[in-house]
Structure 1
Amino acid sequence: MSESLVDQMNAALSTTIPIAAKMGVTIVEAGRGYAVSSVPAEGNGNHFGVIYAGVQFTVAEVLGGIIALSTFDTAKFFPLVKNLDISYLKMANSDLRAEARLDDETIERIAAEAEANGKSDFTLESDIVDAAGVVVARTRGLYQLRAYPKS
């Protein structure tokens, strides 16, 4: 995906999910079947000096929408999150990065199901890593690609 499209996604993120933009969540990379996001530590601390759990949740949760938008026909489909489980493994006190991927076989299944049924569920797993590359949290999200209602 070109840098200008990542810039467009970041601009859209600031209007569609303003709180994510306020946290400093940004899309670093996006393309067919993958997305990478990041969030700074600065301004996202909690009462005992580590990154607030909701910030960690958000940097991973947005990946499902970004992958859907960069992989599927946005004129026909939109993404939504149905569930997201997170396991906090270590205290986070530096900038964070999250990444998720869908393989080609899964992409084809989702596209075919959404075309035929108007929706398709898919699962994304993500590691949230700190600046040293330590996994501080893991997520498993259930997302759905849904067709826009026909007029």
Structure 2
Amino acid sequence: MSDNVVGTDTPPFADIVNGALEFTIPAAHRMGVKALEVRPGFAATSVPAEGNGNHFGVIYAGVLFTVAEILGGAIAVASFDNSAYYPLVKDLQIFFRKPAKTDVRAEATLSEDEIARITEEAAANGKSDFTLKSVVTDTNGVVVAETVGLYQLRAHGK
């Protein structure tokens, strides 16, 4: 089952994000960041622990930041018209909760009402700011980090 409407020839949104990562954000691709599930209003990403450790045996803080920050672009791919708009991050705060010793998963959501607001505002003004909160968990479901990001959907050419 794909992330998209059944019967279309469009690749699932997660495949689009994964295909683009190597070229748009090579550092994230080298870390092994992957989109697991991407659909309008929802994105989940992961990154392996292997190869991403630090000097005391847990996942490096920058890797946790990256797996969460990528969600802003991933959710935009599925939620907005990519031929007219692109996302950018304006600010992101991360709150480290526990050391991560296993692979991690990051998730974020946008409500239908918020997607509609962003779409309408971007159409009227050429851009729209939105806040995206994420939760990063280890394979045992323990919250290892949380983020609050300020993103912007911006019209091409603006």
1:29-49 deviation line (CA, Å, top 9, x unaligned):
001111000000000000111
How far residue 24 of structure 1 moved from its aligned partner, in angstroms, is 0.3
Matched, 1:99 2:107: yes
**Structure 2 spans left out of the alignment, 5+ residues:** 5-9
Matched length: 150
Give the 3-state SS of the residue equivalent to 2:75 in structure 1.
Answer: helix
Q: Deviation per CA, 1:85-123, whole angstroms, max 9, x where unpaired?
A: 001010110000000000011000000000000000000
Alignment of 1:35-114 (within 5 A): 35-114=43-122
Shift, 1:9, TM fit: 1.6
Moved over 4 A (4+): none
Give me the identity figure in percent: 59
Give the match's secondary structure for 1:42.
coil
Give the letter aligned to residue 45 of structure 1.
G
Between the aligned partners of 1:61 and 1:131, the Cα distance in structure 2 is 19
- The amino acid that maps onto 1:81 is V
Aligned to 1:25: 33
Q: Output the TM-score relative to the length of structure 2.
A: 0.92
> Cα RMSD (Å) of the superposition?
1.2
Q: Which residue among 42, 46, 57 is the counterpart of 1:34?
A: 42
Q: Which residue is 1:8 aligned to? A: 16
Gaps in structure 1 of 5+ consecutive residues = none
Q: Which amino acid aligns with 2:77?
A: L
TM-score normalised to structure 1 length: 0.96
